Amino acid sequence: MTQNGRNELRHILSQILTMFLRVAEDQHRGKAVAVAELSSLVQPFLTSPAIAVMIGEHYGRLLGVAEDDIMRAKRGDPFQRLMAHPFSEAFAVGELSRDMLPGYFSFLHLVLGEARATMGEACVEIFDELKEQPFFMWDDFYEDPRSLAIQWEVIARVADNFRRFDARREWFISLMANRPQAHSLGVNAFLPNSHHRAADEVYHFGAIEFNVLFRCLFSPLLIMSEENREAFKRQFAASPEQKFQLILKNIGVEPSP
């Protein structure tokens, strides 16, 4: 349940308790009331016309919150969608398998630590705001300056994690080649993988896939719009070419002259 759902339920419970206390006060005119006497008021109160009206008023709002929760669950975690979006074309042409995503998200969890939860919450807030637009599309979320700033920060932390590039690359390939038994949903939350494949079903992840994955993450930063490039410079006090010089060299991406 999202915070919106919890807030709506608290609001309903608060109204019910307030109404019940008023009924009890009217019945006993301010005198002390024993627990047994209060209990005798509960059933008539819950079946009263006033409660029926209140439930009718709140039912639609509560249903809307529930439908919103279901829609978000179907669409997936906005943070994970943001960080998987750079691979869309590679998935489409078969250069990468979507089966790599649990390992990739677990890697991000390791890199980000507690910041993963904060970034995830920020992405949900951005998504919740944008989805209210009449013609919302996921590209609106991916291209929002706030989403881009989060994505850039994650990519920067990934780059920092690869300062000892060769050793780290071997570790990463090993991590991705071995399907994890669970993948991270947050700092302290993991979802078990429901399907364990036989050896001949396991997707391959090696040096070629590593290069594709990292080029998908880093290459688009070299062809950003001028507006996004200036935003990147404000965020990191450096251009993408300067910020990621070492890793771009190691994955064989040459910045344009």
User: What CA–CA distance (Å, rounded) separates 111 from 62?
Assistant: 37
What is the model's pLDDT at position 28? 65
Q: Where are the beta strands (DSSP E) in the chain?
A: 182-186, 189-192
DSSP tally for the chain: helices H, then strands E? 14, 2
- The overall average pLDDT reported for the chain is 81
Kindly tell me if the per-residue pLDDT of 73 is higher than 60: no
Specify the pTM.
0.65
Name the amino acid, one letter, at 190: F
94 secondary structure, DSSP code: T
Domain extents in the chain:
3-74, 76-250
List, in sequence order, every residue forming a beta bridge with 183; answer none if it has no partner.
191
Higher-confidence residue: 198 or 89?
89
What is the model's pLDDT at position 183? 45
Four-point Cα dihedral 84, 88, 90, 93, nearest 10: 150
Q: Which of left, alpha, beta for 97 (phi over 0: left; psi -120 to 50: alpha)?
A: beta
**Residues contacting residue 254 through CB under 8 Å, at least 6 positions apart:** 248
The string of pLDDT tens digits covering residues 127-183 is 999 998 888 899 999 999 999 999 999 999 999 999 999 999 999 999 888 754 444
DSSP structure string for 61-82: HHHHHHHHHHHHHHH--HHHHH
Q: Are 221 and 253 in contact (CB under 8 A)?
A: no
Kindly tell me if the per-residue pLDDT of 29 is higher than 50: yes
